[in-house]
Amino acid sequence: MPVRLKKFIGMIALIALVVLYALISTAFAVAVLADKSAWTHLAFYLVSGLMWILPAMWIIKWMETSKRRESE
């Protein structure tokens, strides 16, 4: 697969990931954390705000894989 196409697909996947993750995370917070304390909300948003990085790292690694193989 050409590098430019792979990067384009990865970019679309990253945008979709961020949008879907934000919607799901916010819906979960509204549904489950409605009557919880502010500290619970803070802890949830800190953790969920960092959790999207794991799938994003996988997508970025996939985007860069062919580039490394070609240069070796």
Q: Looking at the domain assignment, is residue 71 inside a domain?
A: no
Show the domain range for 28.
3-65
Q: What is the CA angle 25-58-40, rounded to 5? A: 25
Q: Looking at the domain assignment, is residue 42 inside a domain?
A: yes
Q: Looking at the domain assignment, is residue 28 inside a domain?
A: yes
> 14-65 pLDDT, tens per residue?
999 999 999 999 899 888 888 888 899 889 989 998 999 999 999 999 998 8
Q: Looking at the domain assignment, is residue 72 inside a domain?
A: no
> 7-28 pLDDT, tens per residue?
999 999 999 999 999 999 989 9
Which of 24, 25, 47, 3 is closest to 11 using CA atoms?
A: 3
Q: Are 40 and 33 in contact (CB under 8 A)?
A: yes
